A and B are shown apart, each in its own frame.
Chain A
């Protein structure tokens, strides 16, 4: 009889333990949020926007799952803890990948910035050789204005590059390169037509 009573009491204790054992995994939540913030600080939202959005989505989903579990009598956050740990690792990977992506964008911008220097220098020489002719003077004026704008765009892109905003620099320099290339082709076509060596 005594044993039965003791068993009953043990069962009660177990219920009480089960009901109160699952505490909100605040440490893991804070760590994962910190990892996501670190990814943002590394500019994941600029260089890897889709991956960063996925991190935020996952965190929101885990938050909702935790809130759902918090309302239960028997709380068990094991699954959420595992998800938080996995998301934390993923956020770390995204942060590392941002560094690689940023470096790739930086190199891309750097390459075009270097390439465009040669085109800009060649364009400056070509414009002086253009045939003046009846229409020449006005066309040369337009070419000069266009070249001036390319120069300004290159300077702007270089300033963005120097500031470390590589994505912005890449976008700016791409447009400048396209314009510089098209001016180069137009001037070469005009010189070829006029049988002027360049």
Chain B
């Protein structure tokens, strides 16, 4: 009997002991949110691959912060007794991280796709703008600053195309933006410059019509110089009978204002002298009556207004002369022809022959083919 009770006591002790040991082992504890965290990490990784940091920075940063919070919360819970752990916060942070990462991915894919389309369109339109600039202003003297901006704009366009080819859309877009700023501002400045110049077209037209009328009425020769096309036209009896290529002063855009400005004057003039080869260093020359009364009045008014300094002197000795054919605008304001063409014009020109110099015989729309 005593032995039996002893056995019972031992077995009971073992049972109690095993219960005490087994209880913590088998008591249900909350499961750690392994899958939720894993899903958040996968979503984050995908967002990074979709360049969310670039295209959807805010959402991506939030997603990363939520993921870090999930891990920190998890580590905190791990420090608690396993029976008092609560992973709800970890699950919440992991869920938010995954949600934000997925949104960031989606936004990035959309932004990237939109940017792709936007870049392709902009590349096209800027390449067209470069073609326009080249066609419209290839023979127009633009300032060094504008030329430099056009050049930089074209260079950035190449850089953008290279970045686009390597799928670096953000960089391509940045380069395009810079290029667009330079090219459009250059276009606007160049166009504004030429448009301002062609505001004188009605006056040029009046001078051209008068010259042709004079030729018709006097049944004689008249000469028209078109500065924009660098052409000299010869009229007889109101009809154009000949044309020559001309070279002008370097600063041919605009009227001549002052001596030494290397500009070719605009207006209606008469030939006052004919110089044979022994009287000019430019083969042969036809001297014009520049400055005429109108030029002198304009010059004096400019000095009086202060737009020209008091020390300024009016230009003189404007001629149609030989030694041309250099292929550049090199004169000090005269109109240079090749010697052979000078011979032709010299033969028909007389003292008193009308020589009209205008910016262009065509309006701006026609000049620019628009």
Do A178 and B34 contact each other (CB < 8 Å), given the known contacts A71-B82, A141-B147, A142-B147? no
A70 interface hit (Cβ, 8 Å): yes
- Chain A residues closer than 8 Å to B78, beta-carbon distance: 67, 70-71
Asked whether B142 lies within 8 Å of A61 as measured between CB atoms, the reply is no
Main SS class of interface, B: helix
Asked whether B158 lies within 8 Å of A70 as measured between CB atoms, the reply is no
Out of B38, B85, B148, name the residue touching A148 (CB < 8 Å): B148
Among the 9-residue stretches A33-41, A82-90, A117-125, A127-135, the one with 4 or more Cβ atoms under 8 Å from chain B is A127-135
Asked whether A134 lies within 8 Å of B147 as measured between CB atoms, the reply is no
- Chain B residues closer than 8 Å to A10, beta-carbon distance: none
- Chain B residues closer than 8 Å to A144, beta-carbon distance: 147
Asked whether A132 lies within 8 Å of B327 as measured between CB atoms, the reply is yes
Q: In this complex, what residue of A is CB-closest to B6?
A: A1
Out of A64, A132, A138, A179, name the residue touching B41 (CB < 8 Å): A64
Do A138 and B162 contact each other (CB < 8 Å), given the known contacts A71-B77, A145-B151, A175-B155? no
Q: In this complex, what residue of A is CB-closest to B85?
A: A71
Q: In this complex, what residue of B is CB-closest to A135?
A: B139
- Chain A residues closer than 8 Å to B21, beta-carbon distance: 12, 15
- Chain B residues closer than 8 Å to A12, beta-carbon distance: 21
Which residues 1-30 in A have Cβ within 8 Å of B in the complex? Answer: 1, 8, 12, 15
Binding site for B on A (CB under 8 A): 1, 8, 12, 15, 53, 57, 60-61, 63-64, 67-68, 70-73, 131-139, 141-142, 144-146, 148-150, 153, 171, 174-175, 178-179, 182
Asked whether B32 lies within 8 Å of A146 as measured between CB atoms, the reply is no
**Nearest chain A CB to B347 CB, angstrom units:** 25
B266 interface hit (Cβ, 8 Å): no
Do A8 and B14 contact each other (CB < 8 Å), given the known contacts A71-B82, A141-B147? yes
- Chain A residues closer than 8 Å to B142, beta-carbon distance: 138, 141
- CA of A64 to CA of B44, assembled, Å: 13
Asked whether A174 lies within 8 Å of B162 as measured between CB atoms, the reply is yes
Asked whether A73 lies within 8 Å of B151 as measured between CB atoms, the reply is no
**Nearest chain B CB to A14 CB, angstrom units:** 11
